[in-house]
Amino acid sequence: MIRLSDGSAFSSSKDTILEDLEENNVTLEYHCREGFCGACRCKLISGEVDYTIDPLAFIDDDEILPCCTIPLTDIMLDI
């Protein structure tokens, strides 16, 4: 389950969190879709994710790149 700080929630069914967000009409800036640019970075409030590829973009400890992550548990994002 992916939950957003605005209270909305939906199940994860795509390859990446970014694709799940797009499928559910959540607007998020992005560019490369491969962890290079960092445009899609957002805060992970709770839960665990795994990277499908090692990102090159700098992110803080509480941030993720939805373009190259999948949820391992239920997650909450601040978007």
Q: How far apart are CA 46 and CA 54, in angstroms?
A: 21
For residue 30, what is the domain's CATH number? 3.10.20.30
| 7 phi/psi in degrees, rounded to 5 | 100, -10
21: containing domain = 2-78
Check residue 20 and give its pLDDT. 96
Q: pTM to 2 decimals?
A: 0.92
Check residue 14 and give its pLDDT. 83
Question: For the segment 25-75, what is each residue's pLDDT rounded down to a tens digit?
Answer: 999 999 999 999 999 999 999 999 999 999 999 999 999 999 999 999 999
Residue with tokens 């640019």: 37
Check residue 29 and give its pLDDT. 94
Give the count of domains, the chain: 1
Q: What confidence category does residue 19 fall into, taking pLDDT thresholds of 50, 70 and 90?
A: very high
Per-residue pLDDT, averaged over 8-16, amounts to: 92
Check residue 40 and give its pLDDT. 97
Residue with tokens 């797009």: 22
